[in-house]
Amino acid sequence: MADLHIAILGPQGSGKGTQAALISQKYEITHVDLGHELRDRQKINDELGKVIRETISRGELLPDHIPFKILKEKLENIKKGFILDGFPRDSEQLAMTNEITTLTLALYIKISDEEAVKRLEKRRICDKCGKIYTWNEGMSSICECKGNIVQREDDKPEAILKRLALYHKETELLIREYSDKKILREINGEQTVEEVFSEICTEIDSIL
Ligand code: AP5
Ligand code: MG
């Protein structure tokens, strides 16, 4: 079986993290989640931690070299395949990715901005393991790993709108680049989690 080198992209809230976790489990490949790595790194109280914390909470992107260094270190330790979530985010980052690996599949999860905003307002995550939740009345505030279930700093209205605008300006251009390389597969993200996953599995199985 060929190694899977997948990138997952789509607007904020399209379900990249949710689906990448399922893909990683089913196909036994590593989920490289740059947002999660950066949120972990920001807990360290040094200059870099401060820059990451402030940039993320404003809904802006970090300078390329910061996520790229994390990506390189992660990829060096991967034996089988991987799914990249949150990198690359623009053409420069795609060029950086191409220097260290070759992508074999790009999954584009398509949802509207209205749906994205609705989902992000209700998203909660575990501050320890990063598990993703949708808020509902009476849900526990403690994750099964004993971490606290919290709202992300960048899931506040002003930051959400800024992140979506940046996505349309920078990241969406990658759809064309992946399509030119013939590795793009478009997935309808406005279905249940299970239905989206089923569509994704059909695409992955078709290249195995
Ligand atoms: P990152 O953490 O990657 O955030 P993002 O790109 O904004 O994407 P999200 O994580 O918000 O959305 P998602 O698609 O993963 O949705 P999820 O599965 O959680 O990056 C955060 C920040 O880090 C960036 O803004 C930047 O500052 C920095 N950064 C990261 N990478 C960088 C890079 N390469 N360069 C520079 N800076 C970088 O789902 C959302 C919600 O919807 C959840 O509640 C979930 O339960 C629910 N949901 C999922 N699927 C469904 C469904 N089918 N139906 C209903 N609800 C669903
Ligand atoms: Mg995510």
Q: In whole angstroms, give the CA distance from residue 111 to residue 117.
A: 10
Q: Is the CB of 17 under 6 A from ligand 1?
A: yes
Q: Is the CB of 81 under 6 A from ligand 1?
A: no
Q: In whole angstroms, give the CA distance from residue 173 to residue 177.
A: 7
Query: Where do we find the tokens 């403690």?
Result: 142
Ligand having the closest approach to the CA of 36: 1
Query: E-assigned strands of the chain?
Result: 5-9, 30-33, 82-85, 105-110, 123-126, 132-134, 149-150, 184-188
- Asked if 15 contacts 189 with a C-beta cutoff of 8 angstroms, the reply is yes
Q: In whole angstroms, give the CA distance from residue 180 to residue 110.
A: 18
DSSP 168: I
**Atom of ligand 1 at shortest range from CA of 11:** 14
Q: In whole angstroms, give the CA distance from residue 87 to residue 98.
A: 12
Q: Which two three-digit tokens encode residue 53? A: 């914390």
190 phi/psi in degrees, rounded to 5: -95, 55
**Atom of ligand 1 at shortest range from CA of 36:** 2
The protein residue with its alpha carbon nearest to ligand 1, atom 44, reads 123
Q: What is the pLDDT along the chain (208 residues), one digit of tens a residue?
A: 678 999 999 999 999 999 999 999 999 999 999 999 999 999 999 999 999 999 999 999 999 999 999 999 999 989 889 999 999 999 999 999 999 999 999 999 999 999 999 999 999 999 999 999 999 999 999 999 999 999 999 999 999 999 999 999 999 999 999 999 999 999 999 999 999 999 999 999 999 9
Closest CA to 156 of 121, 191, 105: 121
